[in-house]
Homo-oligomer: A and B are copies of this chain.
């Protein structure tokens, strides 16, 4: 593994390390072009880079991209120094990858053709496609191995058992998580793969999850997408335009405890299996009652438009609440959760079928927040207890991660934690 400072970062769309090729080649084959001809007409911006550096990590309030590759890693080295070295190399690689650059030459480093290519190559020719890479540290990283026990934030609790939890340990936990989001799955997969490869011998992938069709919008400029139950998802999400709310609800503030987390956020990841075959046999009326919104419009029941405010007091002719007492949007709403909100940026997944003829499909729920003790945990406790939606979903994987503040040029992921 070469020193991260040596990683030159080759533009994927420009000239790619011809020097390292084992045979004489013209440069024509390396010229700039989009691999996906059908997407050539996309606006340059839509394929452009998202700035990696800044006060906060990208990938949290960034307008949510279309695809996800999420990986949880176990740290396999027991040496703190090696872990720090890895985080430095990862940071350097992440800065290149998110800029749409490959992480090195094709084997040019140790002589022509003799070394494995530094970059795995499958993203050559692809644009940055708004790749973001976001890191988080799980509770297990704060055990005795690396001398971090004293730095564990109080907010980074072990999540309690919620009613109905059916968690697979192989899809839960993890010392470190990296969330890769991009509008192109090949770009997201390429990023995680190259990070995993850099980490060889120091970390191992514990589980990874691909997702598509983001299930929550995080910007008012985005049309609300639909989840696999066919409902608009993200209507009442926190949006990147809500600067004040983000400070209150998403970003850890100085004085919140664990100073190294200031400017960061806590991520809760839940793999939620959706029994779509059963849902699909449920009447439209029942579906809308369960969610509390119209399926077509996405409007709160009794209202006409998606963004109409919810009127929880409104009653039908029969005196029943228009937004039923056990509907999802009532139980999850800040008004019934001490004002707690979440920034949701989950993804649909379909991982083939489950051996019983059912699609292994659902929502890979990702929610960022300032303090899970006041946000995810109470909301999910209430949902787990009362939400009618539980007849159609179950939580099968779980993770919680402390995602530090942003990276400035010259610093690295987690620098303040290890300082």
Q: Which residues of A contact B (CB under 8 A)?
A: 16-18, 20-26, 28-30, 33-39, 41-43, 46, 63, 65-66, 69, 71, 74, 106-107, 112-117, 119-125, 130, 170, 183-186, 189, 193, 196-197, 200, 204-210, 212-213, 221-231, 276-277, 280-285, 287-289, 294-299, 301-302, 304-306, 348, 350-353, 355, 357-359, 361
Cβ–Cβ < 8 Å partners of A22 in chain B? 284-285, 288-289, 294, 301
A82 to B184, CA, bound (A): 41
A14 to B112, CA, bound (A): 58
Q: Known interface pairs A193-B359, A212-B185. Does A37 touch B69 (Cβ–Cβ under 8 Å)?
A: no
A292 to B300, CA, bound (A): 60
| Cβ-defined contact, A38 with B25, below 8 A | no
- How far, in Å, is A87 (CB) from chain B's closest CB? 19
Q: Known interface pairs A25-B299, A36-B66. Does A281 touch B226 (Cβ–Cβ under 8 Å)?
A: no
A71 to B41, CA, bound (A): 31
Cβ–Cβ < 8 Å partners of A223 in chain B? 33-37, 125
Residue of B nearest to A214 (CB): B36
| Cβ-defined contact, A287 with B23, below 8 A | no
| Cβ-defined contact, A122 with B287, below 8 A | no
10 contacting pairs across A/B (C-beta < 8 A): A29-B299, A29-B304, A35-B223, A35-B224, A36-B225, A114-B284, A116-B283, A120-B276, A122-B226, A197-B277
Cβ–Cβ < 8 Å partners of A276 in chain B? 120, 193
Number of this chain's copies in the assembly equals: 2
Cβ–Cβ < 8 Å partners of A193 in chain B? 276, 280, 359, 361
| Cβ-defined contact, A357 with B204, below 8 A | yes
| Cβ-defined contact, B117 with A287, below 8 A | yes
A413 to B28, CA, bound (A): 45
Cβ–Cβ < 8 Å partners of A196 in chain B? 277, 359
Instruction: Choose among B69, B299, B355 the residue that contacts A170 (Cβ–Cβ < 8 A).
Output: B355
Residue of B nearest to A34 (CB): B223
- How far, in Å, is A196 (CB) from chain B's closest CB? 7
A191 to B291, CA, bound (A): 24
A21 to B302, CA, bound (A): 11
| Cβ-defined contact, B296 with A16, below 8 A | yes
| Cβ-defined contact, A226 with B121, below 8 A | yes
Cβ–Cβ < 8 Å partners of A283 in chain B? 107, 113-116
| Cβ-defined contact, A230 with B121, below 8 A | yes
Instruction: Choose among B43, B213, B351 the residue that contacts A351 (Cβ–Cβ < 8 A).
Output: B351
Task: List the 9 closest pairs (A to B, CB-CB), nearest first.
Answer: A121-B230, A29-B297, A107-B284, A113-B285, A204-B357, A26-B304, A186-B213, A22-B285, A41-B43
A21 to B294, CA, bound (A): 7
- How far, in Å, is A268 (CB) from chain B's closest CB? 19
Instruction: Choose among B30, B115, B229, B352 the residue that contacts A284 (Cβ–Cβ < 8 A).
Output: B115
A299 to B30, CA, bound (A): 11
Residue of B nearest to A357 (CB): B204
Cβ–Cβ < 8 Å partners of A228 in chain B? 120, 122, 189
| Cβ-defined contact, A28 with B304, below 8 A | yes
Cβ–Cβ < 8 Å partners of A299 in chain B? 25-26, 29
A113 to B301, CA, bound (A): 13
| Cβ-defined contact, A209 with B352, below 8 A | yes
Residue of B nearest to A351 (CB): B351
Cβ–Cβ < 8 Å partners of A225 in chain B? 35-36
| Cβ-defined contact, A113 with B296, below 8 A | no
- How far, in Å, is A108 (CB) from chain B's closest CB? 8
| Cβ-defined contact, B29 with A305, below 8 A | yes
| Cβ-defined contact, A280 with B120, below 8 A | yes
